A and B are shown apart, each in its own frame.
Chain A
Amino acid sequence: MKDAFGLPQSLLVLGGTSGIALATARRLIARRTRTVWLAGRPSPALESAAAELRTLGADVHTVAFDALDPGSHETVLGKVFAEGDVDTVLLAFGVLGDQAHDERDPAAAVRVAQTNYTGAVSAGLVAARALQTQGHGSLVVLSSVAGERARRSNFIYGSSKAGLDAFAQGLGDALHGTGVHVMVVRPGFVRTKMTAGLPEAPLATTPEAVATAVELGLRRRSETVWVPGVLRVVMSALRHAPRGLFRRLPV
């Protein structure tokens, strides 16, 4: 059960090896979280993430979960919710893809879209229904500023996040009044293993900063969180930039 400050006692991470998700889990464990479910494709990385969180004192379980297999989501997540209330679900899986390569390999591009968008639609709906039955809980969806306006340099990833973002906003409105809170988190460039080796964008941030913003958002029951906050203004300007100008911008 969450406390007066919106801090969860149990956390389900979809995408259990995500750097942002693990930073968030570490932060929440330091406060109140005792039970953590890390859902992801079985891998040594998933197990070592679980082991690391266990050293912080949490009771950590791993769950085999594949975003690309929506048919299994109901069963896999159903088992987690059957074990007890989940106060916060962090939907954190996603792939960046390789824009240049994916443009020439439509099958690879579709995998990005299926992971980031359709996989999230499926998992998001399954989690939302379970939370609604509980009558409480937060669904935190990791979107991206890349979804705010698609850019030449990563529009495959960007379009998938745009779809996810719109989905999560709509889901939040659909769940208004049910006790379930949906929070869309839009980080800018975050230094994680997903972005390793990429040229850093302006206003780059860290997983820890995103985790801090998530904790604050949970307390305030925010619906949209930008990290860093100034991106809200920056992206608002970029969103309204004319196409001809936007194309030429070095973003």
Chain B
Amino acid sequence: MPAETTTAITAETVSVTGWGRTAPSVARLVRPRTYAEAVSAVRECGPRGGIPRGLGRAYGDAAQNAGGAVIDLTGLDRIHVIDAGDGSVLCDAGVSLHRLMEVLLPLGWFVPVTPGTRYVTVGGAIGADVHGKNHHVSGSFTRHVLSFELLTADGTIRTVEQGTDLFDATAGGLGLTGVVLTARIRLQPVGTSLMSVDTERAADLDDLLARLTAGDQRYRYSVAWIDLLARGAATGRAVLTRGEHAPLDALPARARRTPLVFRPPRLPAVPAFLPSGLLTRTTVGLFNELWYRGAPRARTGELQSLAAFFHPLDGVPHWNRVYGRDGFVQYQFVVGHGREETLRRIVRRVSARRCPSFLAVLKRFGDADPGWLSFPRPGWTLALDIPAGLPGLGAFLDELDEEVAGAGGRVYLAKDSRLRPDLLTAMYPRLDDFRALRAELDPRGVFMSDLARRLNLQESP
């Protein structure tokens, strides 16, 4: 670590929102370029504390801090060591998964877990304990994090190893235990940068659940895109895409010459000031219909690029602007195996309400992850985007929360922007441990976010 200096860090007062662009709040944005600057940023947070922020892909208010500091970690973006033999990388927390892919793929390695966007930082992936299409096989992101360096509230930097309490509190801890500065991550070997994808259509929800249950173990990656606007007998109809990293011999001769190329295309960005209300039942319904009809009934072994398979939305910069100034809410919950009835009821209710939600995602989770506030647990998870301006949406989602909590499920905090705080303890049984650890590690509440205030994560109720 460089010696502590007194360099002035650039700070500006800005309005901050999450990816859903709801509930803006104003904070001092601090962007440290060195570890020493990060230390002084934490020491000088001020009375309303600070919260680390990466690329701002959390949908809600997890990386906002009204009246306090938001510590933008994207200035700490060095990759320190790549062990191409053993398959591990040591890098700064501000490095994006996109950058890791650019650097690692030519060496034959891939990130162990990627969420639906690769524009997240390593620090953010730890703070949200993100999961991907391989959760049923590989678990969440932090399972593959061997250790990290954590800058805590007292301004010291600790090395935190997997398996310790501080590790498990930080995994999924939404930046509230400290600022992750660097992390050592175990990688996934790949032979090519293409995916071999099997696609099939499911006619309704029961068909979908049956196919996912029967076939998931045969694939490393599995996800279903579900049409929540379909009604009647077609309720819950979906397109399953499941795949593996394509082996070299699966590639056509021409592609075999550059098997590890990674050049994801980018379309022009969505303009900044689109009106709200472009996504209506009609437009979204039409989109969903075309997309379902356009998918093959069954196709195997199709070669797709990594970007097309994992991150289709990353091709459209600022896609969140499509929802206009009202923004949108992403609702993601999980209910356990044996709670399919709850899942069916929720799908029916969303479908009956005709929420203009395009491309909801259904996935079957594997084993639970050790993070105290980690979201995944064995069962079914459904994620849907809904325009925030939809009348009565708040009350409707509250009702869904009741269903989810009643079935012993939970909602994903990194995506949340509206959960009622009193349901939290039921959803996250380790919450009291988390609060206790915070009280000890950070008694003055240096690490604070809008989400922590809203859900009262800082103290025992």
Which residues of A are at the interface with B, using a C-beta cutoff of 8 A? 1-7, 9, 31-32, 85, 133-136, 177-179, 219-220
Do A1 and B67 have beta carbons less than 8 Å apart? no
Instruction: Tell yes or no: B454 within 8 A of A by CB.
Output: yes
Which residues of B are at the interface with A, using a C-beta cutoff of 8 A? 15, 20, 22-27, 48, 60-61, 65-68, 326-327, 329, 388-389, 393-395, 417-418, 420-421, 450-451, 453-454
Do A133 and B450 have beta carbons less than 8 Å apart? no
Q: Find B450's partner among A1, A5, A7, A178 (CB 8 Å cutoff).
A: A1
* Residues of chain A with a CB closer than 8 A to B420's CB: 32
Inter-chain CA distance A31–B27, complex, in Å, is: 27
Do A4 and B327 have beta carbons less than 8 Å apart? yes
* Residues of chain A with a CB closer than 8 A to B66's CB: 1, 85, 134-136, 179
* Residues of chain B with a CB closer than 8 A to A85's CB: 66, 453
* Residues of chain A with a CB closer than 8 A to B450's CB: 1, 136
Do B26 and A178 have beta carbons less than 8 Å apart? yes
Pairs A-B, 9 closest by C-beta atoms: A135-B67, A179-B26, A135-B66, A1-B454, A4-B417, A136-B66, A4-B22, A136-B25, A3-B418
Report 10 cross-chain contacts, Cβ distance below 8 Å, ordered by A residue: A1-B450, A1-B451, A2-B23, A4-B23, A4-B327, A4-B329, A4-B388, A5-B418, A32-B420, A219-B388
Q: How many whole Å from B421's CB to the nearest CB in chain A?
A: 8
* Residues of chain A with a CB closer than 8 A to B61's CB: 1
The number of inter-chain residue pairs (CB within 8 angstroms) is: 69
Do A4 and B20 have beta carbons less than 8 Å apart? yes
Q: How many whole Å from A133's CB to the nearest CB in chain B?
A: 6
Closest to B26 in A: A179
* Residues of chain B with a CB closer than 8 A to A220's CB: 326, 389
Closest to B390 in A: A5
Do A179 and B24 have beta carbons less than 8 Å apart? yes
Inter-chain CA distance A75–B191, complex, in Å, is: 69
* Residues of chain B with a CB closer than 8 A to A179's CB: 15, 24-26, 66-67
Known: A9-B421, A133-B67. 11 other contacts (CB 8 A): A4-B20, A4-B60, A5-B418, A134-B48, A134-B67, A135-B27, A135-B48, A135-B66, A178-B26, A179-B15, A179-B24
Inter-chain CA distance A76–B418, complex, in Å, is: 31
Q: Find A5's partner among B25, B67, B394, B453 (CB 8 Å cutoff).
A: B394
Q: How many whole Å from B431's CB to the nearest CB in chain A?
A: 17
* Residues of chain B with a CB closer than 8 A to A178's CB: 26
Q: How many whole Å from B58's CB to the nearest CB in chain A?
A: 12
Q: How many whole Å from A225's CB to the nearest CB in chain B?
A: 16
Do B26 and A5 have beta carbons less than 8 Å apart? no
Do B26 and A3 have beta carbons less than 8 Å apart? no
* Residues of chain A with a CB closer than 8 A to B23's CB: 1-4, 6
Inter-chain CA distance A2–B67, complex, in Å, is: 14
Q: How many whole Å from A81's CB to the nearest CB in chain B?
A: 11
Q: How many whole Å from A127's CB to the nearest CB in chain B?
A: 15
Q: How many whole Å from A181's CB to the nearest CB in chain B?
A: 9
* Residues of chain A with a CB closer than 8 A to B329's CB: 4
Q: How many whole Å from A38's CB to the nearest CB in chain B?
A: 22
* Residues of chain B with a CB closer than 8 A to A6's CB: 23
Do A135 and B394 have beta carbons less than 8 Å apart? no
Q: How many whole Å from A118's CB to the nearest CB in chain B?
A: 28
Closest to A180 in B: B26
Closest to A2 in B: B23
Q: How many whole Å from A44's CB to the nearest CB in chain B?
A: 32
* Residues of chain B with a CB closer than 8 A to A31's CB: 394-395
Q: How many whole Å from A36's CB to the nearest CB in chain B?
A: 16
Inter-chain CA distance A6–B327, complex, in Å, is: 12
Do A3 and B326 have beta carbons less than 8 Å apart? no
* Residues of chain A with a CB closer than 8 A to B453's CB: 1, 85
Q: Find A3's partner among B24, B65, B454 (CB 8 Å cutoff).
A: B454
> With A4-B20, A6-B23 in contact, is A136–B394 under 8 Å at CB?
no
Residue among A2, A135, A219, A220 facing the most chain B CB atoms (10 A cut-off): A135
Inter-chain CA distance A220–B61, complex, in Å, is: 17
Q: How many whole Å from A58's CB to the nearest CB in chain B?
A: 13
Inter-chain CA distance A177–B27, complex, in Å, is: 11
* Residues of chain B with a CB closer than 8 A to A9's CB: 421, 454
Inter-chain CA distance A2–B454, complex, in Å, is: 7
Inter-chain CA distance A85–B452, complex, in Å, is: 13
